[in-house]
Structure formats: structure tokens, C-alpha cells
Amino acid sequence: MSRCFGFRKKWKDIKLKLEDEVKDNRKPAIKNVHDALSSELTALASKFNVESRLGSNPPKDESKNPDKPPTYTYRELATATNNFREESFIGEGGFGLVYKGKLERTGQVVAVKKLNHSGLQGDPEFLVEVLMLTLLRHPNLVTLFGYCAEGNQRLLVYEYMSLGSLEDHLHDLRPDKEPLDWNTRMMIAAGAAKGLEFLHHQAEPPVIFRDLKSANILLGEGFHPKLSDFGLAKFGPSGDKSHVSTRVMGTQGYCAPEYATTGKLTSKSDIYSFGVVLLELLTGRKALDDNYGRDKQLVEWARPMLKDRTRITQLADPLLRGQFPESVFKKTVDVAILCLQEKANNRPCMQDVVTALNYLASRKYNPNKANTAEIKGIEDYSSSGTNTSTIGSPIGTKLLNIGVDREQAVAEARMWGETWREKRRKSANSSPESHDGLYT
């Protein structure tokens, strides 16, 4: 597997400096924001080929110097957004308001996030987000074009994602818009998974997103998904550490149970959140909805149907109007079950999730040929008597134990099955409990 960049020590130094500032309750001087970015990025540029990591979409006005994100004046961004007027407003994130704008110097349409002065994202977090999005480039991560750190103003300039967020299309759909069809939902799920896989397995050191939710999955042309809003992202554990201890942050309804109760953060915390997003795509329900009273938590509401295989299709979003392949739907639910395991070690890694979703997304649904997407040769849990309350690795042993017409998919499935069987064997040998399912 290729590594996107190899400067662990540099990132560690940056992280330690920022953590010290937070502990001391000191905000770095404005000058330090620019100095930190310039010095760290210049040092990295002299040692590594940054251009090879940035991909084919550098900021237009800084293409000759992609190492350093361009800076903008507050006046430039105010002009671009028509002075941040209501007609330019396109959304609200955890740390501020987002506006659509057009840069005078390039004519480029962008999204400008104006951070709240009283928000949770101070200079250390602002600096980390700028550094991460400058150095981490992937087709499924939103591109940062530049920033403004002028006086007490903090603004981030991103590529404009024309179709808004996944949350908009699932929960706040305008009357003149069509709901997402099955094939589009699966494409979005697979793409978002690839972005998370990149952060967990290709970034060095790994990055834990920490706030994965449908509102932070933005959609471009053709509903191409990209992860956005890295304000809460953390560097993963290094050396022999198994987790990162941190203040519990994120969004209610998406937080992994072990992180919410202990503050111990791992990549498996992100995977739980991804399982919630997958349930959102399948059901059309919000992760947390006070309108449903005792059933306000999506995972709790879904629990009875996830336990009973005969009720699985009752989970389906009514807006799908029954237009989905039943067998693929059930297998996608199984992926969600794996991601939502109570015990973090029983959750798959994102590489495995990507493998499954890539295959399932490839089974396109054709409403004119209802059986075209069905997966043949898979044992149905509902008819096999399998107790899904203790499923430990159904993807490896049953979900993708399939007779398909593509040798590559079969090979991937077998490899995945072997990996999961080995993991379960080790888990059984090291713990008196051989299973710790979703329903404990």
C-alpha cells in the first residue's frame, strides 16, 4: 500500500505544540498562525514531493506553489460573498456559517466558512484543519483552497460542492427535488467509505475524523461524495499506544459508545459513526430525532428489525418506494451491523468496509429488471436461522460467500473471509467471550 506522505515526526511536533497551547489556555498570536503554516509547509516541501500528493485540483492562483495554501484578506472574502449577506448563505456547521462566493482574482466559485468568534474551534484547531486539508488530498476529501487569519477573523475557503450535504438530501429535501435512488445511495456510501479509508490507512500518521455524520458528507456533480469539516479531527495513536485520550466531542447519535463513556478515541470510533450514516442512507431517518420520543435514537429504533431477519426490509426508507434489490439491501444492513458492534475490536477496518460496499454498489438496480441486482448464491439469514444478535463476522463467512460472475470480487471475498476468521479466532483465544454483538 502506498503512503501519501512520511513525515510522522513533523506532524507529532505540530500536535504537541498545539496541545500545549490548549492546556495553557493560550491562543497563539495571529502572526504565529501564518508562521506555523509557512515554516512547517516549507520544511516539508524541501524534503518531499508535495505536488504528487495534491492531485490534479490545486488552487488556480497558487498552482506554482501548492505547498502553501493561499491566504485571502477579509475584504476579498467579504466581496466574494456579497458581504456575507443572507442570499449567499448555504449552510451552517458546528463552528460557523458557510457562504457561497466568487473570488475576484480567479473567478472561481467557492464555499467560505466563517468561524464563530465564540465557537469551539480556536486557533490550534484552525491551524490543524488548514494543515490537514493542505496535505491530505483525495478524491473523497473536500479541497481547501485557502484561508484568512486577519485580526480575530478566521475563515476557510473550500471548493464549492454544488449539491449540498447528504443530510440535505435525506432529511431536508426541498419539495422540488427528487429523493436519492438506491444506486445513488450506494455510490455515496462507497465514496464516503473510501475517504475514511484514506484517513485511516494511507495518511501517516493516521487521522481520526471524529465527527463523521451526514451533514459532513458533501455532494458534488453527479452526487460525488467528499468528507468535509476537519475541525474535530485528531491524529491517531502512535507507537505502542492503542488509543488517543481526548475530551468527548462530536455529534449526539453518531458517537461510539466506548468513546462517549471513556473519551478513548480510535479509528473504530469513526467506523461506528459510519455505521450510523449507513443506517441513515438505508432508512431515511435522522441519527437523532426528538420527534420520535423514545425512538429518537436511530440505532435504538432499528434494533428490533436488525435482530429479526424477517423484518429487515421494514427498515427501508419509504422514499425509495420499494425500488431497491432486496438481497443487496439485506447485505448492506449486515455491513451496518458490523460497523455498529458494541465492542470496538469486533468492528471491521475501513478497508474491509470499502471492499464490501464497492461490490454491493456494483450490483446496480434496474427498476425495469427487478432481479438484475440480486446477489445469487448467498444464504439468506432469515431462512438459515442465524442469530444476528451475535454476528461477529457475517461479511467474511456469509455476506460475500457468493457465486458471482467476477473473479476479482470472489477473490476479495475469500481474502476477506480468511481475515475475519483469523481475527475471530484470535479474539476467542484472548477473551472468555467469543462474541460481543450489537445487542448486548
Which residues line the annotated binding site for ATP?
A: 114
Compute the half-sphere exposure of residue 306: CA atoms within 13 Å on the CB side of its CA: 27
CA 325 to CA 271: how far, in whole Å?
Answer: 25
Q: Specify the pairing of strand 96-102 against strand 89-92.
A: antiparallel
DSSP string, 364-392: --BTTBTTTTPPTTPPPHHHHT--GGG-S
Note whether 130 and 69 are within 8 A (CB): yes
Say whether 161 sits in a helix, a strand or coil. Answer: coil
Percent of the chain as helix, strand, coil, to the nearest 5: 50, 10, 40
Instruction: Report angle CA 184, 185, 186 to the nearest 5 degrees.
Output: 90
Q: What is the dihedral of CA 3, 351, 94, 40, to 10 degrees?
A: -10
- Residues 140/189, Cβ–Cβ less than 8 Å: no
The residue from 67, 168, 211, 270 that is catalytic is 211
Alpha-carbon distance 4 to 316, whole Å? Answer: 38
Beta bridge partners of 157: 112, 146
Distance of CA 151 to the CA centre of its chain: 32
Is 211 one of the catalytic residues?
yes
Cβ–Cβ contacts within 10 Å for residue 440, how many?
Answer: 12
DSSP assignment, residue 230? -
Residues written for the chain = 440
- Residue (of 381, 437, 393) closest to 419 by Cα position: 393
Binding-site residue set: 114
Tell me which residue of 298, 296, 278 sits closest to 287, measured CA to CA.
Answer: 298
Across the strands, what pairs with 150? 153
What is the C-alpha to C-alpha distance for residues 55 and 199, in angstroms, rounded to an integer?
16
- Known catalytic residues are 211
